[in-house]
């Protein structure tokens, strides 16, 4: 009996080893046929074992001789990662990225990668700690609450004005509504804080775990979902009773699409477009994640970078003063966003998006039905069907081939400033523009055969102002590209422009230097001493930004934070002492 079990065990191991070796040989042969450089790795970096190990498997891999883990820069802008289980094409080549994002049918989105988000309902994605960081999240939540749901959420200390609709009051209130254990805002914020464990662990297990963290996660999610279905029910009742306001909130439009005019016989198309309640709630969840989490992180990193770079901040404020002419925000017109987008405000947002895009990579795959050709620098490469692709946004947006660049003034010895916050690159001189113009025109002139022609809605304009530098298609894709690019791109751009303009019209942001000097000590310092202490804060802030990592989006996690001070303009302590590149 024991010998039989032992033989079965040995046979299972032998079969497993055979499958690994044969799978690796097969994938290596397929990678060679593409004509692209390839790199053999023991496990896929996107597989479950690698995700469970985090970055630890890389440290183990580096125990091998250096030739097996040399810098990938020597490989090129597009190469294959080959493991026993799968092949993955990684690229930061703008031409390749533009082709992939332009051909939705040939290179579809691997919806299984997003299926984890569908537990809140199918949505547009799955179908095909410092206090000031918390404040940026609250700001974006208030904006997306109004734009997405027509809700005016309260700040701490605020109260609802008399006559507020009682249906909306329970969502705006900072207190828990009847039948809930926390407010709507708290339920949403806590759900996002616990999002990974909620997505990864099955509900039955979460309900049984005795830990306070998991109990808080379950309580938050239950409250959030109950609020959302109550909100949906309220919207449906308003429509059925004829009391629905013709507002601009997105969720109201989704509800009107499904519960508005009833389809007449024969109008099967309209009936097929109707969303289920779960799909409406699922899209609401994605709107919150995409419109709140991502935009808040961009505001956070932009404020941090501007605090690190006082000279850039001064230029931004001069542009705000010239464009807004001292008008209060209530008097601003939407048309002013075009001028802001073409100014240092837009350049700072673009530079933050270039360095710290909310999503670091765009997953795609070759159509399972047939192989696909990808042209890179004039050479055609045949990619096997079902090959996984990773369009590496962070690398493409730091590829000096496509950008105005110069030797770094921050990192000694660095050949380029691609890793530096330099908004001035978006206002290139004629000489700098000419230096990058050839590559720009090469990629921009590419006509992608078989590109999508279907209109999926959403803002279809460029990601940057016509007055700013235009990188080649595929080199700047913070909102993705092609038919399935970010539907809320224009909303996000306006949010960012308005938020920065409100902050910097009357205030400045400086790094806090409390770690090195008290307020009294700073007051007694001369310009040179202030520059020295601020330099220490700049160095630490840059290190914190460099530590950002991705869970759902790219942001600071754990104990990493950047302390800053919001001061009235004219009361800055370091503005005349610290120089910074623009």
Binding-site residues, in ranges, read: 486
Rounded distance between C-alpha atoms, residue 251 and residue 240, angstroms: 16
Cα–Cα nearest to 456, from 101, 99, 94: 101
Pairing mode of beta strands 87-91, 388-392 = parallel
Rounded distance between C-alpha atoms, residue 367 and residue 373, angstroms: 11
What is the SS3 assignment for 331? helix
Range list of H helices, 451-510: 489-506
For residue 79, what are its two tokens? 């190469």
Q: Report the DSSP beta bridge partners of residue 376.
A: 379
> Which residues fall in the annotated binding site for heme?
486
Rounded distance between C-alpha atoms, residue 548 and residue 406, angstroms: 25
Contact between 575 and 314 under an 8 Å Cβ cutoff? The reply is yes
Range list of H helices, 63-202: 94-102, 111-114, 131-149, 166-172, 184-193, 195-200
Q: Inter-axis angle of helices 489-506 and 310-324, to 10 degrees?
A: 100
For residue 173, what are its two tokens? 């209130």
Q: What share of the chain is helix, strand, coil (3-state, %, to 5)?
A: 50, 10, 40
Rounded distance between C-alpha atoms, residue 457 and residue 440, angstroms: 27
Burial of 499 (0-12, 13-18, 19+ CB in 10 A): buried
Collect all residues with Cβ–Cβ distance below 8 Å to 563 and sequence separation of at least 6.
130, 511, 512, 514, 515
Task: Tell me the torsion sign for CA atoms 473, 479, 481, 482.
Answer: negative
The H or E element containing residue 431 is: helix 430-444
Collect all residues with Cβ–Cβ distance below 8 Å to 20 and sequence separation of at least 6.
84
What is the SS3 assignment for 181? coil
Task: Tell me the torsion sign for CA atoms 132, 300, 115, 113.
Answer: negative
For residue 90, what are its two tokens? 């990684």
């Amino acid at each position: 009996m024991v010998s039989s079990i032992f033989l079965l065990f040995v046979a299972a191991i032998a079969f497993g080893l055979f499958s690994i070796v044969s799978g690796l040989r097969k994938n290596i042969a397929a990678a060679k046929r593409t004509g692209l450089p390839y790199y053999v790795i023991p496990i896929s970096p996107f597989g479950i074992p690698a995700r469970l190990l985090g970055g630890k498997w890389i440290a183990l891999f580096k125990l091998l001789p250096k030739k097996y883990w040399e810098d990938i820069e020597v490989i090129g802008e597009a190469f294959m990662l080959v493991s026993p289980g799968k092949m993955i094409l990684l690229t930061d080549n703008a031409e390749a990225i533009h082709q992939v994002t332009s051909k939705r049918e040939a290179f579809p989105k691997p919806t299984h990668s997003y299926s984890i988000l569908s537990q809140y309902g199918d949505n547009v994605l799955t179908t095909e700690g410092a206090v000031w960081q918390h404040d940026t999240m609250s700001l974006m939540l208030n904006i997306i609450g109004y734009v997405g749901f027509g809700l005016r959420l309260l700040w701490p200390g605020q109260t609802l004005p008399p006559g507020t609709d009682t249906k909306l009051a329970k969502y705006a209130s900072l207190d828990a509504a009847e039948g809930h254990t926390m407010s709507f805002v708290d339920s949403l914020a806590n759900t996002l804080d616990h999002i990974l464990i909620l997505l990864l662990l099955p509900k039955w297990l979460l309900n049984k775990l005795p830990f306070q963290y998991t109990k808080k996660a379950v309580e938050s999610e239950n409250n959030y979902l109950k609020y959302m279905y109550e909100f949906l029910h309220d919207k449906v009742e308003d429509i059925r009773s004829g009391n629905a306001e013709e507002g601009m909130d997105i969720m109201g439009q989704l509800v009107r699409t499904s519960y508005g005019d009833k389809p007449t016989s024969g109008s099967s198309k309209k009936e097929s477009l109707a969303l289920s309640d779960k799909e409406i709630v699922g899209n609401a969840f994605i709107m919150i994640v995409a419109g709140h989490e991502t935009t808040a992180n961009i505001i956070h990193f932009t404020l941090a970078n501007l605090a690190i770079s006082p000279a850039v901040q001064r230029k931004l404020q001069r542009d705000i003063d010239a464009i807004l002419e001292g008008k209060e925000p209530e008097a601003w017109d939407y048309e002013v966003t075009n001028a802001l987008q073409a100014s240092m405000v837009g350049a700072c947002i673009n530079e933050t998006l270039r360095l710290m895009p909310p999503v670091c990579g765009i997953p795609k795959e070759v159509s399972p039905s047939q192989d696909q050709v990808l042209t890179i620098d004039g050479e055609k490469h045949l990619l096997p069907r079902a090959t996984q692709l990773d369009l590496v946004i962070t690398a493409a947006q730091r590829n000096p081939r496509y950008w105005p660049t110069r030797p770094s003034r921050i990192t000694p010895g660095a050949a380029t400033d691609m890793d530096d916050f330099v908004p001035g690159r978006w206002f290139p001189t004629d000489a700098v523009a000419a230096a990058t113009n050839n590559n720009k025109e090469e990629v921009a002139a590419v006509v992608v055969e078989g590109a999508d022609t279907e209109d999926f809605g959403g803002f279809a304009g460029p990601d940057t102002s016509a007055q700013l530098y235009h990188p080649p298609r595929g080199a700047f894709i913070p909102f993705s590209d092609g038919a399935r690019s970010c539907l809320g791109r224009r909303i996000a751009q306006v949010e960012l422009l308005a938020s920065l303009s409100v902050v910097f019209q009357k205030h400045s942001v400086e790094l806090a230097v409390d770690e090195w000097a008290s307020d009294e000590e700073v007051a007694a310092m001369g310009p040179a001493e202030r520059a020295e202490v601020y330099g220490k804060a700049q160095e630490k802030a840059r290190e914190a930004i460099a530590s950002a990592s991705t869970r759902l989006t790219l942001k600071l996690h754990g104990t990493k934070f950047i302390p800053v001070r919001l001061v009235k303009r004219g009361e800055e302590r370091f503005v005349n002492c610290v120089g910074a590149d623009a």
